[in-house]
Amino acid sequence: MKKLNADFIPWKFLDEYRGTDFSGEWPTLPEMFSISARRFKSRPCLTDFEGEYGSKNTLTYSQAERKILKLASWFSGNGVVKEDRIAVSGKNSPEWAVVFFAAMYAGAVVVPIDYGLHDSEIENLLNTAEPKFLFIDEEKFEHFAQRENVFSLSPKFSEKYVYNLSSENAGALDMPSEDDLAAILFTSGTTGNPKGVMLTHKNLVSCCYIAQTRMQIFETDVFYALLPIHHAYTMQAVMIEALSVGAEIVFGKSMAVSRLMKELKEGQITMLLGVPLLFNKLLSGILKGIKAKGPVVNGVIHLMLGFSYFVKKVFGINIGKKLFKAVLQQANIYSLRIAICGGGPLADSVFKIYNEMGIDFVQGYGLTETSPIITLNPIYHFKIESVGQYFFPYMEMKILDKGEDGIGEVCVKGPMVFKGYYKMPEETSLVFTEDGWFKTGDLGFLDKEGYLILAGRAKNMIVTEGGKNVYPEEIENAFQLYSDFEQITVQAYTEDKNSKSELIEALVYPSDDLFEKLKLERKNNPAPAEVYDALMEQVKAVNKTLQPYARITRLTVLDKPLEMTTTKKVKRSYKK
């Protein structure tokens, strides 16, 4: 685990191209891609497994650039001018990435839309963004084809297929500048008044390179784009980061275990970025396999895990990769160099076990409004309890309105902070202080080394009768390795309507594993008493580890799971 030199500047190589290939402080996204295409012409760039019988397809940087420029010329020849919007909605694919960059080469603004939304919700976002063109995947193509200027990300509709578009009337490309708008990302309001985050080229490119001051990446890395690419996390931490250094992107379209295992193995993935649900599922499978080997083997392996972690933390030597080679190969993650968890809090115990097994596993944190990365744990000096160190001196972070426990709202300033909400000046002003600090809405505190420890979202905080603040996320984290819980979501409830004090309830959707273990069949009617009792026993066990004021006092077993976002977080719109 080699520590990055304090003088290491990841974007230093750009000086060679400054003044010729770009003229601003930072290159724009198309300028960044063009520089990578010059440096790494023949290296693999965009890969999927959509060939015959699931075979691997790869575009080199030169091939990808040709497709991007061809489409950008088509945009220009069909009337696209600077700041026109171009929408894209579909499964992760090279075609999606080609549209993303081609739009920017033509000076347009990309509007990535969640493909998992209902058609009516997508329509609402399109009506707000008013794009000149829409590119959409095959499942929704026929529905949206009734609109004007709709094209396909799938070769199934060959006449409208993105790769088949070419123009004899191509004009000169009106390239953007670094302060121009690059993308509008909608974060909420799909059924009402949509809230679109406006990100400039400087926002996205500065965030990309500044994040690399905490983690070095290489052209030999292979990034796995498994989470939906419309989301700021995957868009930045996978696609933009990879292309900035000439690395390869493997596009995954499904979290189905068989496909995931195939792509991890055949893609030889070195950089796996995921959310807690993904890493919990992977780990659950690994631990299940170890436990099946019997109590003696299980005990010995856990002793080895503890020893591996001790050596890694104290001496900075990673022996886990050798000790647990067979285990990692079985799970198809032996090729991993780094795993990063974002999009939500991960239990300390999960974080620790991956590191024990020799995977350099870290957490990061950010919001769509911050492009999105604003903290990252360096692999050479990670802290399990933290979501990472903020990127001083390239940005600022402070805690506003601290309580007695030192916890307050996390606020930031820096080149990655967004321009504002699309056509929402009032909403924009509400999230900034008078002196220009962006208020994240998250609660936490900073340690002496600039590492951020999060407590939870300000709007989710529960205030107990004794005036204690309880953060639902911290309680939920305590259950992440309990396989009987498919979902657990903590919220407040009140027994006395005249009282403002809140008690703590857990909403639980039990796992299939629990029903199997109890030899019960899952039905849509209320869960049997045995299920409630089994879950309550585990709730009681966790309660013993919590402060008295933070203990769960009511358990509600759900008949169906709560709705989740595409990054596998429960939508907290259930509270009565």
pLDDT value of position 544? 92
Q: Identify the DSSP state of 22.
A: B
The answer to whether the beta carbons of residues 503 and 518 sit under 8 Å apart is no
Nearest to 160 by CA among 144, 173, 181, 171: 144
CA dist 477 and 347 (Å) reads 5
DSSP string, 514-558: HHHHTT----SSPPPHHHHHHHHHHHHHHHTTS-GGG---EEEE-
Question: What is the chain's length?
Answer: 576
The answer to whether the beta carbons of residues 113 and 186 sit under 8 Å apart is yes
What are the residues whose beta carbons fall under 8 Å from the beta carbon of 7, sequence distance 6 or more?
Answer: none
Beta bridge partners of 274: 341
pLDDT value of position 576? 40
Q: Which residues of the chain have pLDDT under 70?
A: 1-6, 188-192, 345, 465-467, 496-501, 566-567, 573-576
pLDDT value of position 461? 76
> What is the token pair recorded at 101?
């960059």
CB burial string 116-125: b at 16+ within 10 A, e below: ebeeebbebb
Provide the angle, in degrees to the nearest 10, between the axes of the packed helices 94-105 and 61-77: 50
Q: Output the CA–CA distances (angstroms, integers) from residue 494 to 22, 78, 420, 552, in the order listed.
A: 59, 59, 37, 13
The answer to whether the beta carbons of residues 52 and 77 sit under 8 Å apart is no
pLDDT value of position 527? 82
DSSP string, 327-380: HHHHTT-TT-SEEEE-SS---HHHHHHHHHTT-EEEEEEE-GGGSSEEEE--TT
Rounded to two decimals, what is the model's pTM? 0.84
Helices (H) and strands (E) in the chain, counts: 18, 25
pLDDT value of position 549? 82
Angle formed at CA 12 by CA 197 and CA 397, multiple of 5 degrees: 45
Give residue-wise pLDDT tens across range 465-500: 666 778 788 888 888 888 899 999 999 888 766 555
CA dist 565 and 37 (Å) reads 34
CA dist 218 and 271 (Å) reads 10
pLDDT value of position 467? 62
